[in-house]
Amino acid sequence: MDIEVQQFEDFLRSKGLKNTRGREIILREIKTRKDHFNAEKLYFSLTRKGTRVSRPTIYRTLKLLERFRLIERFDIKKNCFYYEPISQKKNHGHLICEQCGKIIDFSSNSIEILKSEMINIINHVIDNTGKGKFHAILGGTHLDFLTPEQLEESIVALNKLEVEKIGVSHCTGLRASFRLHLKFGDRFFYGRVGSVLEI
């Protein structure tokens, strides 16, 4: 962590900025977190610990940490951003409840299991939350590793779920992304850092 603090200080210096005590507190707090968080959650967490850092400092620092690639931002809905530390990012995607905004990670210790079980994971989340509909499915689906028959089965299953938006990333692969685009048209998009999904 001290290496990251030093690298962050170097990054700030290169941009003509100082590493303030507030920025360092925020960085250290983020490194200890095991959950998704937004600026307000971070502010209240620091306040509960008796640490005083202003909201504007938190918002500005989150933008800097995102630019430095220590955290990744994803959009829950319009003007509602959540973050997670890059250091805790594993092979997982996010299912986001469109009613309450709850974020559910789905992950696997094995990419082999993840790539062949995407629909089962989604069904598992539906069974455990009681929610039968999701506005969006976002993340790396690893569909590129499937056989053509498995890919078509996954597309049929996704279509039955009536998901409004399907946002995939690089590990979905070009072949599978192309098939998803053909099937879902405007409901499909290729997610990148900074992509915005409006609800």
User: Could you tell me the CATH number of the domain that includes residue 120?
Assistant: 3.60.15.10
Q: Are residues 103 and 180 in the same domain?
A: yes
Q: 10 near 70, Cβ under 8 Å?
A: no
**DSSP 3-state percent helix, strand, coil across the chain (nearest 5):** 50, 20, 30
The pLDDT tens digits of the residues spanning 125-147 come to 888 888 777 778 887 777 777 77
**Rounded distance between C-alpha atoms, residue 48 and residue 136, angstroms:** 33
CB 172 within 8 A of CB 143: yes
- Do 74 and 94 belong to one domain? no
When pLDDT is averaged across residues 78-98 and rounded to a whole number, the result is 71
> At residue 51, does pLDDT exceed 60?
yes
Which pLDDT does position 78 carry in this prediction? Answer: 66
Q: Which DSSP string corresponds to 29-75? A: HHHH--S-B-HHHHHHHHHHTT----HHHHHHHHHHHHHTTSEEEEE
46 in Cβ contact with 27 (< 8 Å): no
Q: What sign results for the dihedral spanned by CA atoms 55, 61, 63, 69?
A: negative
Residue 131, both tokens: 């929610």
pLDDT for residue 63 is more than 60: yes
Residue 102: domain span: 90-190
In the predicted model, is pLDDT for residue 150 greater than 90?
no
Spatial separation of the C-alpha atoms in residues 48 and 36, rounded to whole Å: 18
Q: What gap in Å lies between CA 28 and CA 1, rounded to an integer?
A: 8
CATH number of the CATH domain containing 81: 1.10.10.10
How high is the pLDDT of residue 132? 73
Which residue would you say has higher pLDDT here, 177 or 95? 177
How many domains does the chain contain in total? Answer: 2
What's the confidence (pLDDT) of residue 114? 42
pLDDT score recorded for residue 50: 93
